């Protein structure tokens, strides 16, 4: 497998250090992590002692986030929750920061429920993807979720706000806090960034109302059991659920053709990804029976350039039958690069038992947080 453009930093924190230079670099990263941790404690302390205040909006606020940098499946989870709420007749708005979109510092309506109003370069790839996946749900972007929340309630009539990547966001009062823990890389090497991948200490899971262990089907049962016990130890009062990312279809952007995921079985496939957790994508392809020839990996949110990608795809051997990418990557691929062999593997979040959507039969708990014990 090709490592593509994995950074030296990623290799270092994963245990790939060798030699004096690497050891010095790790010491520097550890010192920065200590400083980051101190700043984090000060920030949270300001809210705890009342120096900073949280805003209460006239809507139910459900936050979905994680404690690590990278792909735990937040966007897929936000789509699953918003879709369930929409099915119950709720007026739902998803609030996203719009990371790397040009509107990140604004308060912008990406969708009023009828598809994206702006391109992914403005909205950010996740909000754009959510707006395409959820007809009937409003999507707003902006770093200040107080502004976008007010806009969603006052202008769009939202009664439920779903915060995509909201665990670290402190400026809003949140009614339900759902934290995602990736079974493949749960605790970011047990160091805060930049020495590890933790955005905050794992013990902070204690403030979550529910914890979803994502990609639970991609690890061994013994490892999953140990992870479940550790998570429950951090958050004894939280509801702990296991989820999996279920492939639902292969879709060819060039002409819109759709195939069942099993169509990749036995075919020679090259994976293409610029996401936070490329390992999960690779293992999902292997689960559906694809013969993985190569995995072209790029950094998360990589802005694909037409020349770069066209040359890369054209250079794949004719024996490669499919080049498969993710829904998140697909919105960043220039239209002129949508060749016949390029397919998108679309996934949905589900619970292992029975394959139903998360919180099947428990939506009342989600909608009436005051009833929680």
Asked if 332 and 274 touch (Cβ cutoff 8 Å), the reply is yes
The residue-averaged pLDDT of 256-266 equals: 97
Tell me the torsion sign for CA atoms 303, 305, 306, 312. negative
Output the average pLDDT for the chain.
Answer: 90
Please determine, for residue 3, whether its predicted confidence score (pLDDT) is greater than 50. Answer: no
d(CA 125, CA 75): 10
Reported confidence tier of residue 161, pLDDT bands at 50, 70, 90: very high
Reported confidence tier of residue 364, pLDDT bands at 50, 70, 90: low
pLDDT score of 360: 53
Is pTM beyond 0.75? Reply is yes
The residue-averaged pLDDT of 228-237 equals: 96
The residue-averaged pLDDT of 275-280 equals: 90
d(CA 111, CA 3): 36
CB proximity list for 4: less than 8 A, separation 6 or greater: 295, 296, 297, 298
Please determine, for residue 373, whether its predicted confidence score (pLDDT) is greater than 80. Answer: no
Reported confidence tier of residue 365, pLDDT bands at 50, 70, 90: low
pLDDT score of 213: 95
The residue-averaged pLDDT of 45-52 equals: 92
Reported confidence tier of residue 372, pLDDT bands at 50, 70, 90: very low
Reported confidence tier of residue 344, pLDDT bands at 50, 70, 90: very high
The residue-averaged pLDDT of 259-282 equals: 95
Residue-range domains of the chain with CATH:
8-48 (no CATH), 60-244+352-371 (3.40.50.300), 247-348 (3.40.50)
pLDDT score of 366: 61
pLDDT score of 357: 56
Helix, strand, coil content of the chain in percent (nearest 5): 35, 25, 40
The residue-averaged pLDDT of 55-62 equals: 96
Note the pLDDT tens digit of each residue in 97-127: 987 767 777 899 999 999 999 999 899 999 9
């Amino acid at each position: 497998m090709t490592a593509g453009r994995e950074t030296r930093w990623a290799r270092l924190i994963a245990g790939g250090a060798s030699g004096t230079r690497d050891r010095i670099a790790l010491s520097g990263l550890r010192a920065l992590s200590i400083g980051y941790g101190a700043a984090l404690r000060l920030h949270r302390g300001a809210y705890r002692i009342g120096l900073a205040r949280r805003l209460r909006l006239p809507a139910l606020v459900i936050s979905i986030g994680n404690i690590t940098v990278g792909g735990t499946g937040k966007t897929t989870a936000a789509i699953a929750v918003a879709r369930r709420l929409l099915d119950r007749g709720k007026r739902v708005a998803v609030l996203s920061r719009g990371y790397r979109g040009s509107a990140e510092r604004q308060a912008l309506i990406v969708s009023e429920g009828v598809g994206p109003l702006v391109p992914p370069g403005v909205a950010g790839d996740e909000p754009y993807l959510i707006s395409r996946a959820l007809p009937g749900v409003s999507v707003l972007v902006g770093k200040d979720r107080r502004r976008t929340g007010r806009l969603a309630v006052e202008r769009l009539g939202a009664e439920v706000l779903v915060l995509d990547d909201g665990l670290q966001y402190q400026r809003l009062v949140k009614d339900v806090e759902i934290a995602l823990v990736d079974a493949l890389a749960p605790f970011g090497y047990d160091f805060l960034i930049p020495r590890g991948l933790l955005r905050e200490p794992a013990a902070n899971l204690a403030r979550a109302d529910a914890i979803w262990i994502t990609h639970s089907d991609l690890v061994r049962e013994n490892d999953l059991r140990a992870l479940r016990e550790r998570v429950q130890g951090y958050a004894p009062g939280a509801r702990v659920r296991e989820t999996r990312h279920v492939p639902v279809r292969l879709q060819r952007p060039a002409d819109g053709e759709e195939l069942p995921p099993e169509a990749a079985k036995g075919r020679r496939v090259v994976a293409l990804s610029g996401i936070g957790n490329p390992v999960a994508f690779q293992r999902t392809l292997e689960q559906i029976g694809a013969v993985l020839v190569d995995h072209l990996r790029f950094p998360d949110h990589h802005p694909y350039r037409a020349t770069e990608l066209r040359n890369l795809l054209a250079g794949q051997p004719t024996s490669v039958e499919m080049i498969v990418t993710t829904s998140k990557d697909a919105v960043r691929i220039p239209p002129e690069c949508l060749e016949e062999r390029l397919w998108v593997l679309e996934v949905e979040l589900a619970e292992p038992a029975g394959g139903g959507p998360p919180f099947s039969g428990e939506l009342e708990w989600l909608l009436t947080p005051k009833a929680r014990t």
